[in-house]
Amino acid sequence: MNSASFDFAPLFPARLPPPVARWTGHVKYDFTGGNNDSDGLPLEGLITATEAVLRREGRTLSTYGLNSGPQGYRALREFLVTKLKADAGIACSADDILITSGSLQALDLVNATLLERGDTVIIEEDCYQGSINRLNRLGVTPVGIPLERDGMRMDALATALDDLKRKGIRPKYIYTIPTVQNPTGTILSVERRQEMLRLSVAHGVPIFEDDCYCDLVWSGERPPALYAMSEHGGAIHIGSFSKSIAPALRVGYIVAPWDVMSRILALKTDAGTGALEQMVLAEYCAANFFKHVPALRRGLRAKLQTLMESLNEHFGTTAEFDEPKGSIFLWVKLPDGVDTMKLYQPALAAGVAINPGPEWSVNKGHSRSRMRMCFASPSHEEIHQGVATLAEICRREFGVLAPGEKS
Amino acid sequence: MNSASFDFAPLFPARLPPPVARWTGHVKYDFTGGNNDSDGLPLEGLITATEAVLRREGRTLSTYGLNSGPQGYRALREFLVTKLKADAGIACSADDILITSGSLQALDLVNATLLERGDTVIIEEDCYQGSINRLNRLGVTPVGIPLERDGMRMDALATALDDLKRKGIRPKYIYTIPTVQNPTGTILSVERRQEMLRLSVAHGVPIFEDDCYCDLVWSGERPPALYAMSEHGGAIHIGSFSKSIAPALRVGYIVAPWDVMSRILALKTDAGTGALEQMVLAEYCAANFFKHVPALRRGLRAKLQTLMESLNEHFGTTAEFDEPKGSIFLWVKLPDGVDTMKLYQPALAAGVAINPGPEWSVNKGHSRSRMRMCFASPSHEEIHQGVATLAEICRREFGVLAPGEKS
């Protein structure tokens, strides 16, 4: 086959995103991506659960949606009803839940249900790159609200909503990652949650709550979900098993009122999320989830400790960060002279991958010298060596001082 | 929570599809959907494969995409390289393959890569409902080409391409299910494949080959894929494990030249297809696929036999059909007086679900008295009883004669 002969280029729509480059493998010190701690994977438990559930009801795999219909494996939705009540305070039924292919499909489905080109939404100023990219691709304008240690600033949210109202713009939603925010690791306080809900109702703007990191709070205690606190039903809640069990499984979920759910279901055109993973998760989690997650968190917290110690050792006071109360990433501020977009390439050339701040923020000035460092996947040794290597690059490329060194 | 309070309706975009109704469970005699024969599921083999692959490399589940990058689990792509060469004659490498969440996600991704509102495509006149619905939703005009026993009519295709060219319209693709067409069960002959490729090149219109039923040819011998026969690279090929192993797994694939693949990858925003299923399929199929599929086919062929006998017994000559050379469905012609869209509801009320022809065709006149009957999932007994019940409904509602009865 002469693949050069047929020219597909004239057939591509104008708005198609640029082509991707070929994948070249993992880097040596990878501080990017929501990969989890492989030592924390409950492998034996998953194997046992798989055999049990397949022996009991494996033949249902021959039917689309098993015997559970289009919203996903019923036993998994029933586990989620229990889990969401126990930790997030959400009172819902299995009929309010849709199982998705990770919380990324949940993001895409909620966006497709609510957004069209030209719309405006409110997000946290520093925000998950995948959410920002989706909005850009959809032609939707994100209005960023600054964050503090207690999460999104409610005075700034009120001002933004008022400003938009004056311009005749009703944002389609307030998107928030309230519980272990990405990338800042902040947790929205209960008081701010109440205020956000008040503003949501006052302006008729629903809350889109992305709770995919909520299981990672070290104390195991989290504020109630906005979805749980809402008295008016104006919230959509999404979550994931990627951070609590394993990301490659690709199992997430949406909790939404039926008038939204019935619209979302019309857009889920993939005939269901992978059934084997749903079955295995339901079987495993019903018996083990609440024992497994604290053990996983202990391992993650130890890696965070290693990361913070390494940063202190190799950067000293030139790397600033707030210790998060739970997370798989650290939002690090380097000296103002460092442009992390320009740090990215030389770091990668030295085998260190980081997330440059401007890719995780709609405020390019504020995020210019910041970076996100994910710590769940690399080993303690890799964290140490990777940070040491990164510090060398920062000294070489940007003249960042070594600890104790004076300018 | 008072879910009636917040009104989402003003926030929905105008072009959103209508909301779905709540799922009410499976019907007694279900002749719809691509569900497979649960007796043909290789359950023990899948359980053994799961344990083996998880013990060997289960900890990679903690990393997005395992160690295989964004195109899917490498061992599964390598199995597909072998399989596609062996049965479809396709010479490709693992880098030419993307694993998708069923062939439905493959359809969505190819459509998103090539189509925009106002475009025109060519399809088979009787065609998979999901493909027709997708085109309608995207605002794309399908031009239907009639089928014969040897598949799409090439004289009609040539005429349609010429007509469109005169109008200044270049269709975005020729979509075909050439090997066990849905719903007709026809197989496009090698001669017609050659002619389709000639027309494709002459008009600069690529071929979009949906081969998701290709494993179901009773003889085990199928014509080479259009993708394999193309000398100019102007073809995109999709397939699935839904029909050969189990539909609930949701694993399909795309084979495409890199200039298309690199665009498709930019649109696959779900961070990969479920890894567990990919791992299990790779492990199982490498050792067992070519032994399993013939056994599955024998069971399916026996059910087709039961369906045809039941139709002959209860409908006699009033139900016409061509015996397919492989399939999980039969395309049945009832007397002209029967409108299958009107048969649907009373049949369902009696516990029999059918696919009315007009939902599986862009030629509403031709398909009005036709229906698709899927036979893989119901038991032999259910096929018998379901057909008997359906015949009664046809007699009662449309005056269809019983076998031997004279008008």
Mean pLDDT confidence for B264-280: 96
Count of structural domains within chain A: 2
Whether residues A181 and A191 share a domain: the answer is yes
Q: For A289-332, what is each residue's pLDDT tens digit? A: 999 999 999 999 999 999 999 999 999 999 999 999 999 999 99
In a domain, A113, yes or no: yes
Whether residues A274 and A377 share a domain: the answer is no
Q: Do B19 and A265 touch (CB under 8 A)?
A: yes
B373: helix, strand or coil: strand
Partners of A11 on chain B (C-beta within 8 Å) are: 114, 172-173, 206
Q: Do A20 and B55 touch (CB under 8 A)?
A: no
Domain final residue, candidates A243, A260, A288: A288
Q: Residue A321: what pLDDT?
A: 98
Within A115-189, residue ranges assigned H as helices are: 129-138, 154-166
Q: Residue A5: what pLDDT?
A: 81
ipTM of this complex: 0.96
User: Residue A25 carries which DSSP code?
Assistant: -
User: Nearest-CA residue of chain A relative to B202?
Assistant: A6
User: Chain B window 70-99: which residues touch A at a Cβ cutoff of 8 Å?
Assistant: 70-71, 91, 95
Nearest Cβ partner for A23 among B16, B21, B70: B70
User: Nearest-CA residue of chain B relative to A1?
Assistant: B231
Minimal C-alpha gap between B32 and chain A (Å): 11
Whether residues A266 and A318 share a domain: the answer is no
Partners of B171 on chain A (C-beta within 8 Å) are: none
Q: CB neighbours of B30 closer than 8 A, spacing ≥ 6?
A: B353, B374, B377, B378
**Which residues sit opposite A147 in a β-bridge?**
A152
Provide the b/e sequence for A167-200 (b: ≥16 CB within 10 Å). Answer: eeeebbbbbbbbbbbbbbbbbbbeebbebbbebb
In a domain, A186, yes or no: yes
Q: For A133-191, what is each residue's pLDDT tens digit? A: 999 999 999 999 999 999 999 999 999 999 999 999 999 999 999 999 999 999 999 99
Say how many Å lie between the first and final Cα of chain B, rounded.
62
Name the residue with tokens 């929205």. A188
In a domain, B11, yes or no: no
Q: Dihedrals φ, ψ of A370, to 5°?
A: -105, 160
Whether residues A280 and A303 share a domain: the answer is no
Q: For A58-75, what is each residue's pLDDT tens digit? A: 999 999 998 899 999 999
Nearest Cβ partner for A55 among B26, B47, B232: B47
Whether residues A212 and A132 share a domain: the answer is yes
Q: Residue B2: what pLDDT?
A: 46
Whether B343 has a pLDDT exceeding 50, the answer reads yes
Q: Residue B246: what pLDDT?
A: 97
Whether residues A270 and A376 share a domain: the answer is no
Whether residues B272 and B194 share a domain: the answer is yes
In a domain, A8, yes or no: no
Whether residues B264 and B355 share a domain: the answer is no
A313 vs B: CB within 8 A? no
Q: Do B250 and A270 touch (CB under 8 A)?
A: yes
Mean pLDDT confidence for A246-274: 96
Mean pLDDT confidence for A326-342: 97
Nearest Cβ partner for B274 among A14, A269, A277: A277
Domain final residue, candidates A288, A311, A336: A288
Whether A2 has a pLDDT exceeding 60, the answer reads no
Q: Residue A404: what pLDDT?
A: 83
Q: Residue B5: what pLDDT?
A: 81
Domain residue limits at A383: 24-41+291-398
**Which residues sit opposite A236 in a β-bridge?**
A208
In a domain, A19, yes or no: no
User: Chain A window 94-153: which residues touch B at a Cβ cutoff of 8 Å?
Assistant: 95, 101-102, 104-105, 108, 113-116, 130, 134
Rounded-to-integer distance, Cα B185 and Cα B378, Å: 19
In a domain, A5, yes or no: no
Domain final residue, candidates A272, A288, A304: A288
Mean pLDDT confidence for A199-227: 97
B199: helix, strand or coil: helix
Residue B140 sits in a domain whose CATH number is 3.40.640.10
Whether residues A313 and A273 share a domain: the answer is no
Whether residues A350 and A283 share a domain: the answer is no
Nearest Cβ partner for A37 among B5, B62, B130: B62
- The mean predicted confidence, pLDDT, of chain B is 96
Q: Dihedrals φ, ψ of A45, to 5°?
A: -60, -40
Rounded-to-integer distance, Cα B128 and Cα A205, Å: 39
Q: Residue B26: what pLDDT?
A: 85
Rounded-to-integer distance, Cα A116 and Cα A104, Å: 18
Partners of B259 on chain A (C-beta within 8 Å) are: 8-9, 19
Whether B93 has a pLDDT exceeding 70, the answer reads yes
User: Chain A window 325-344: which residues touch B at a Cβ cutoff of 8 Å?
Assistant: none
Q: Do B5 and A231 touch (CB under 8 A)?
A: yes
Task: Determine which helix (DSSP H) or strand (DSSP E) holds B239, and give its type and residue range.
Answer: strand B235-240
Provide the b/e sequence for B109-136 (b: ≥16 CB within 10 Å). Answer: bbbbbbbbeebbbbbbbbbbbbbbebbe
Q: Do A116 and B260 touch (CB under 8 A)?
A: no
Minimal C-alpha gap between A288 and chain B (Å): 18
Say what percent of chain B tops pLDDT 70: 99
Q: For B108-151, what is each residue's pLDDT tens digit? A: 999 999 999 999 999 999 999 999 999 999 999 999 999 999 99
Mean pLDDT confidence for B20-43: 95
Q: Residue B240: what pLDDT?
A: 98
DSSP notation for B66-85: TTSGGG--HHHHHHHHHHII
| Tokens (6 digits) for B5 | 């309070």
In a domain, A275, yes or no: yes
Q: Residue B311: what pLDDT?
A: 98
Q: A368: pLDDT confidence band, cut at 50, 70 and 90?
A: very high
Q: Do B36 and A114 touch (CB under 8 A)?
A: no
Residue A300 sits in a domain whose CATH number is 3.90.1150.10
Give me the total of CB pairs closer than 8 Å, taking one residue from chain A and one from chain B.
310
Minimal C-alpha gap between B404 and chain A (Å): 37
Whether A3 has a pLDDT exceeding 90, the answer reads no
| Tokens (6 digits) for A87 | 């930790």
Q: A240: pLDDT confidence band, cut at 50, 70 and 90?
A: very high
Minimal C-alpha gap between B272 and chain A (Å): 7
Whether A195 has a pLDDT exceeding 80, the answer reads yes
Q: Do B58 and A43 touch (CB under 8 A)?
A: yes
Mean pLDDT confidence for A234-242: 98
Rounded-to-integer distance, Cα A327 and Cα A177, Å: 12
Nearest Cβ partner for A377 among B12, B63, B258: B63
Nearest Cβ partner for A62 among B38, B66, B108: B38
Nearest Cβ partner for B63 among A35, A172, A271: A35
Minimal C-alpha gap between B316 and chain A (Å): 31
Q: For B171-204, what is each residue's pLDDT tens digit? A: 999 999 999 999 999 999 999 999 999 999 999 9
User: Chain B window 238-267: which residues touch A at a Cβ cutoff of 8 Å?
Assistant: 246-251, 257-260, 262-263, 265-267
Q: Residue A23: what pLDDT?
A: 94
Whether residues B31 and B132 share a domain: the answer is no
Q: B1: pLDDT confidence band, cut at 50, 70 and 90?
A: very low
Instruction: To the nearest 10°, report the CA torsion of B21, B26, B28, B32.
Output: 80
Task: Determine which helix (DSSP H) or strand (DSSP E) holds A279, and give its type and residue range.
Answer: helix A275-315
Whether residues B324 and B226 share a domain: the answer is no
User: Nearest-CA residue of chain A relative to B22?
Assistant: A262
In a domain, A220, yes or no: yes
User: Residue A126 carries which DSSP code?
Assistant: B
